[in-house]
Structure 1
Amino acid sequence: MKIKAIAAAFAATVLTPFAMAEDQSDWALVIHGGAGVIERGQMTAEREAEYRAAMHAALDRGEAVLEAGGSALDAIEAVIHGMEDDPLFNAGRGAVFTAAGRNELDASIMDGATLNAGAVAGVTQVRHPISLARAVMERSRHVMLQGEGAETFAIEQGIEMVPPAWFFTERRWASMTRSLERLGLDLPERPEGAPELQGVDHGTLERDEREHRFGTVGVVALDSDGNIAAGTSTGGTTAKRWGRVGDSPILGAGTYASNASCGVSATGTGEYFIRLTVASRICALVEFQGLNLQDASDQVIQDELTAMGGDGGIVALTPSGEIAWSYNTPGMYRARQTAGGDPVVGIYGDED
């Protein structure tokens, strides 16, 4: 989806959409907070304001790191930390529940300069899965850890742990309950340590379920050294079963970064993103077929993913500062900023 051209800091000419000058080494940042049936008139003004504020706050965290000369990896971790602690998003404290009544969290991170990467799946007591994914990348000889083994590694590395009840939110529990009732499955016991039962407005709940079908959060960052990195964190899908793992912790599907092409973070129906290897596919179109980032993103999301019956979206960024996002859902929480530029936050499809 095409975005109006922006001006780079101190530049005197108008650049192509989302692009900075080739020799410019300033930073850039693009973020998503999930895609879904997000439509005008279906969200209260108060809730919309909350999401816009949360996306602006995410940009602020990334800007603070990058403006100070920090790395793209540091910026990703800072941005996602806040989103993992924000119950608005399906990551960390706002994560959805599995059919067993658990919050099982996935995350991944990738360094475009080295192609090093780390990922975790199915963790239940790690406050910031994105930090654990980075620890896997930097402090182990592996790329992906899962479940109890990942949490053992987290404890050994001093990663912050919290009780499972830390992630509990009433609306996510109610959403899981509704899903299991529709499926005719037994309801799990309320988690130990969860607050006493609170009422949930079912109109709001139905709207939330439409809007947050894909609530993954993700970031791609470019630092002043010209390096890109990408990271993604999620609670998965409501009422998922049998240890299901989606695309978010899978390199090439939900996350990918290479200084030779681009960085991508995805959100959507993970099974399709895995089968299509969405993130690396976009980067391959840029690197090997010479497509610009927006065209590559649209080809994969608007054409290939849609043809398969998948839905969701991505945000992407090149080492030259070209930014793109593309989604085939009615809306996606998204934001971008470049050095010296104004922040841009979007929710609905008609804001592009």
Structure 2
Amino acid sequence: MKKPFAIAIHGGAGTILRSQMTEEMQQAVEQALDQAVSQGHQLLAAGASAVDAAVCAVKILEDSPHFNAGKGSVLTTKEMVEMDAAVMCGKGRQAGAVAGVRHIKNPVILARDVMQQSEHVMLMGEGAEEFAAQLGYDYTEQDYFFTDRRYEQLLALKAEGRVALSESRYPDDHKFGTVGAVALDQNGNLAAATSTGGITNKRYGRVGDSPIIGAGTYAENHNVAISATGMGEVFIRCCVASDIAARMRYLQEDIHTACTAVIQGDLKTLGGEGGVIAIDQFGEIHFGMNCEGMYRSCIDIHGRKQVKIYADDV
């Protein structure tokens, strides 16, 4: 008898307005979410690990220009991409992360390699790319990541002298650009993976919560796996992912209670907007957000698929 397995993914949260979402854009986003969750689930069904399923799903979203990660990453004030990613395996709480990489096509793959093929947890910038080169990674030119959409967005924000969390004017002004996945495999292992291009017009090598274990990414066997998306600085200050896990571990709260307490509690009180996806040891899935929407999809332990965008989607 097969043990339960399930997967959930997200493509960012925030003020996602129906009035500014074109039908073409919505179809493209939903198609990418469907492809990512379906391929991750196929791996789980074939007996693959939760880590490999989560990484597979995130890689597909990184390869899409519709999400702020990998190919679709936003541009810094120097008109470059600087990407962050993390992977965590619930078994033994192994983790790997990279920050500020510029020439890696799929940062989530490199984060997994940091976890599996180094003695470290986080590598940054040139050091992370040196490690990648030793493993035989291709050097990806910045041209691969450049899109007119992101360049126009950068110019608009430079003119206003501000930064933005990804989807400026297309299809909305306040979407937090991150992609992520959480999974439970047939061996009972949990895993989480998160990847982001950060914020438009960012400076000084800014890093958000996505690659920080316990803030934007966390997995712990017999408990929960979490991937977050939102205002990175506040998610870091609130240690969102580890706080949810701690509430489940010590207070014995269920996944829905713990996620809601954190997302609608201190995070919101401190001005933090965004959401999380989470899956527990039984395969129960929770999508939590304190904003108007989150690109999200899942296939639960019964094989039921959902693809949603807005907070009020039922």
**TM-score range, shorter-chain basis?**
over 0.9
Counterpart pick for 2:286 among 302, 324, 332: 324
Supply the AA of the counterpart residue of 1:308.
L
In the other structure, the counterpart of 1:335 is 297
Output the aligned Cα RMSD.
Answer: 1.6
Query: What TM-score does the superposition give when structure 2 sets the normalisation length?
Result: 0.96
Post-superposition CA distance 1:38-96 (Å, at most 9, x none): 12232111111111111111111101111110000110111111111100000000000
In the other structure, the counterpart of 1:260 is 222
SS in 1 for 2:84: strand
**Larger strand proportion, structure 1 or 2?**
2
In the other structure, the counterpart of 1:272 is 234
In the other structure, the counterpart of 1:171 is 149
In the other structure, the counterpart of 2:273 is 311
Give the greater-gyration-radius structure (CA): 1
SS in 2 for 1:334: strand
Q: CA deviation at 1:339?
A: 4.1
Q: Distance in 2 between matches of 1:76 and 1:103?
A: 23
Supply the AA of the counterpart residue of 1:101.
E
In the other structure, the counterpart of 2:171 is 208
In the other structure, the counterpart of 1:181 is 159
Q: Distance in 1 between matches of 2:290 and 2:150?
A: 24
In the other structure, the counterpart of 1:195 is none
In the other structure, the counterpart of 1:281 is 243
SS in 1 for 2:298: strand
Superposed structure 1 runs of 4+ greater than 3 Å apart: none
In the other structure, the counterpart of 1:70 is 48
In the other structure, the counterpart of 2:189 is 227
Supply the AA of the counterpart residue of 1:56.
D
Q: Distance in 1 between matches of 2:220 and 2:137?
A: 27
In the other structure, the counterpart of 2:134 is 156
Q: 1:281 to 1:335 in 2, by over 3 A?
A: same
Q: Structure 1 residues 334-343 or 28-37, which shifts more?
A: 334-343
Q: Which runs of 5+ in 1 are unaligned?
A: 1-22, 186-203
Are positions 1:243 and 2:205 aligned together?
Answer: yes
**Does the 8 A contact of 1:35 with 1:332 survive in 2?**
yes
Supply the AA of the counterpart residue of 1:310.
G
Q: 1:96 to 1:308 in 2, by over 3 A?
A: same
Are positions 1:60 and 2:38 aligned together?
Answer: yes
Q: Number of aligned pairs? A: 311
Post-superposition CA distance 1:288-313 (Å, at most 9, x none): 10111011001100122110111110
Query: What TM-score does the superposition give when structure 1 sets the normalisation length?
Result: 0.86
Supply the AA of the counterpart residue of 1:300.
V
